[in-house]
Structure 1
Amino acid sequence: MKSGMGLVRRSCTFSFVLVSFLTAGAWAQQPAGRSPAEQQNTAPTGLPTAQPVSPPAVSASGVVSNSEKADDPSKDSPGKSTIVTLGPGDLIEVNVYNVPELASKVRVSNSGDVYLPLIDYVHVEGLTQEEAQALIEKRLVDGGFVRNPHVTIFVDEFTSQGVTIIGEVGKPGIYPDIGEHKLYEVVSQAGGFSQNASRKIAILRRNQPDPVRVTLPRNLADDVSSNVEIMPGDTITVPRAPTIYVVGDVGRPSAVLVDNGSLTVLQALALAGGTNKTAKLGASRIIRKGPDGGVTETKVEIKKMLEAKIPDMPLQADDILFVPVSGGKIFAARTFEATMTMATAMALYTVHP
């Protein structure tokens, strides 16, 4: 009986193993099944592999930066950089937090160095305030003077970043140029142009041997192209306008400014009030000083110019236009006056018996 039951158990076990083996073989021959979730998450075949998209870089201020512009600095605008650096002549205050003994107020030397307690000379020329602060902190740490120092720099005078304006302006001097400024803004800070200012301005820049020449329009609002950008360290020269002197028998002998670049004989006479009746127009002359110091005289026939028989003559800076007095006209005028006086006296004598 026991042997019969054992035989039955062996038969059932063998049958179960055989069925499992056949089922596993059939399952291996068929393609692997996929769950609906797996079929949805699986990318279709034949498509390119997706590339990860890197998030845009965000600065500490929360502004999203332009990666393409950061990779290629040449695409930046060619305008002036607003980064302000230290230079010779700048007066700075250096403070170390919680260490008042190290506070110093020093001026940057011509070599670009400042002397500070404990750490000796520090070269700060060409560094921004943040870079100079980091350098001083490093020197304090390397020397073992202060642990975890916090250095702050305050600039009292930005002499190296100033703009010098001289010449025919209201208040010539040195003006700070922190940030971006235009020519008209700097001139306005200097009190504007004087009445004798020339329209041709020269701007001398650092490390540039040739100055930048700017010709101002008569009305500054008509042409903004002359409102050029001013860089730190520029020297703006506003010269006096060329002057022409009109003397002699004219209405208002005076010095005439050539503010439009050129002036002719008739224009200068008009500005001087014209000639008087006793002027000898045919004997007028231009007195001109040469480059060697010599003086030359050029005869000018104003009467023929007024009659359009000869062209008008241009004048140069520092020319003297002399219009002499006609002796004959004076004699005739005085004779006429004497005659009129005598005739008036006789008329009065005749009227009164």
Structure 2
Amino acid sequence: MLVHLKKQSSKYCKTLFVSASILLMNGCSMVPGSHFVGVDDGRETATLEQDLSNVRISVIDSGLIAQLKEQSQAQTQNQKNTPVITEGYEYILGIGDVLSIGVWDHPELSLPAGMQRTAAFDGFRVKTDGTINFAYAADIPAADKTLKQFSELLVEELSKVIQKPQIDIKVVDFRSQRVYVTGEVKQPGVFPVTETPLTLIDAINQAGGLNERANWRTVNFTRDNQVQIIKLDDFYTMGDISQNRLLQHNDIIHINRIDNQKVFVLGDVSKAGSIEINRYGLSLAEALSDVGGLNESTANANGVFVLRKRANSENGVFADVYQLHAQNVVALVLADQFKLQARDIVYVTTAPIARWNRLISQLVPTILSFDKIPVIKSNSGVL
């Protein structure tokens, strides 16, 4: 009887160990490079299948690199059809502008010289009602007119008292129109719109250019309470002049910080973390290099993934997943040509052998626990 009980106890322990091992290896699912999760009851599998149906998975190869370049070039080519036009630009007079007006052969109608007088101080100012007062010509409309249009009106009035008047008009102080440059520039401020066409790029240069914390990729451009995203990077790197703008009164140019221009490198790398994208861009190879590369002993070289959320969902697909097979030298060239975008997530999985080792390390506490199973003793010995 005692021998029978001993055999039954030994058989029970072996069965328990085998059952626990099978349960851990087959009944559990593992997140690569992460941890074990509980037994799949069918709902988790259904959720995973649903999640995978919402992403598009592509392998990073020469065909994909060529396709991405073609899409970028096609988009840039379409945008180049609408360049900024500055030819024929004429300044429009506004309230507060100061004009210098001279009449040939009639010095009495010109500003007196001497006494360190300035044209900006003693010039003819556009009044709040939009008119200018001049000798023999009171309340001449000036606001919302070009210098040529105002000159024609003034000549018409002076012709009533002066035979064929010849006049010379200049804007000596531009005060009616201004634009604002804010954010990460060296000298943010208010800049006047003058008789020289002022573009978005000109205004940024007048503000001293972008500082070291500026986002070189995009700029917020506001006109009439409508915000546009200007792709500054396309202007500088690809010569896309359609990204420039001819500025108008009350336009606002805001340069964002580079904080949001980051990618995240996670998984089995030497030092996981976030990396900022500078003005020259960031490739997948550079990102992996900046975090110290893959862990050679544990990382899966075929498990380098880039997760990218789409701005607009198309056919139910809201994200793209790109996989790099990094076991060959050619893959390194492809990684250098694959450009990352802001908020991309680069994830490196763990190699199968490393996952097996981690599995074993998870089983060790279970194996050791069998040593703590109470031993049944009897008068005749151990069962």
Query: Greater Rg, structure 1 or structure 2?
Result: 1
**Fold shared, TM-score > 0.5 on shorter chain:** no
TM-score tier by shorter-chain length is: 0.3 to 0.5
User: Where is the strand percentage greater, Structure 1 or Structure 2?
Assistant: 2
TM-score, normalization by structure 1: 0.42
Q: TM-score, normalised by structure 2?
A: 0.39
